[in-house]
Amino acid sequence: MTGFNDQVIEEFRRTKGNLGGRFEGWQLILLTTTGAKSGKRRTNPLGYLEIDGKTVVVASNMGSPSHPGWYHNIRRDHRVTIETGAETYEAIAAVPSAAERDALFARIVAEERGFADYQAKTSREMPVVVLHRIDDRVRGMGDFLVEVHDWLREELKTLRAGVDEIVAGRAESLGIAKPLRAHCVSFCDALTKHHTGEDMGAFPMLAQRFPALAPTLTRLGEDHVVVATLQKRIRELVEGYVHGESDPVLLRDDFDELAGKLEAHFAHEERTVVTALNVTAPG
């Protein structure tokens, strides 16, 4: 098998994807993944289909009982490289939901009967994988997430400035404590809504499509719990704040702890999920 693969890869690269002889007419790409166990880059020639502008491949392994190695690899690391002959680009490999998989597979079989024959040879359900090109110009849900983070960062700064006023003892005379209270409540509500949206919507969607992201998403979800606890403490401090009695330094310290945790969380989230969100849910 390896010898055969190497031969196809060599000819594919030499002819820039225009395979002749016994490969004449094959619609192939070269997919390079990172070995789940070895960590080494592995290249496989694969038949593909273009469906609704997306490159779709089937983990058929020619109908053998086990999934091909590249499928195990993309479940551990979804970043892949694709060679079409005409160009080479980076992509991320997404596993569609069960319903999406079935709809795609029906269209694949309608175009390429051979995949139905492969499926008939094995009792395992052959996975379908969608290869999304990484294009920095594509704006989507990931960029929206960054915008929400930036807005929350600004709000937090404004709130922190308000707390400083209280610490400096100027708040009551300037009538700041009351608006700060209202502002704090609306900020906490916005943050809670954002994290609930991630916990209920974006994160389960990403974990399903990109199994490699699952541990990261679990950690990000745990951050949400930590942040919620801090938020609750701050809200209680702000709501129970009595000028001249409560210690504003305690409030400031809690605020700084929240700001530090949130910034680390936002940064981690932006590093790990923005690209995947952009390609799967373009704006």
Chain residues in the site for Fe ion (CB under 5 A) = 198, 269
38-47's contacts with Cβ under 8 Å and 24+ in sequence apart are: 41/81, 42/69, 42/70, 42/73, 43/5, 43/9, 44/5, 44/68, 44/69, 44/70, 45/5, 45/8, 45/9, 45/12, 46/70, 47/112
- Chain residue whose CB lies nearest Fe ion: 198
Quick one: 222 or 247, whose CB is closer to Fe ion? 222
CA distance 63 to 55: 21
The residues, ordered by sequence, that sit 6+ positions from 226 with a Cβ below 8 Å of its Cβ are 261
CB closer to Fe ion out of 17 and 142:
142
Inter-residue contact 118 to 125 (CB < 8 Å): no
**CB of residue 96 vs Fe ion: minimum separation in angstroms?**
24
Is residue 77 within 8 A of residue 33, CB to CB? The reply is yes
- Cα distance between residue 187 and residue 213, in whole Å: 29
Tokens of 41: 């880059």
- CB-CB contact of 248 with 167 (8 Å): yes
Nearer to Fe ion, 36 or 190 (CB): 190
CB 252 to Fe ion: min, Å: 24
> Closest separation between CB of residue 191 and Fe ion, Å?
9
Cβ at position 264, least distance to Fe ion in Å: 11
CB of 13 or CB of 194, closer to Fe ion: 194
Q: Which is nearer to Fe ion, 75 or 195 (CB)?
A: 195
Residue with Cβ nearer Fe ion (83 or 269) = 269
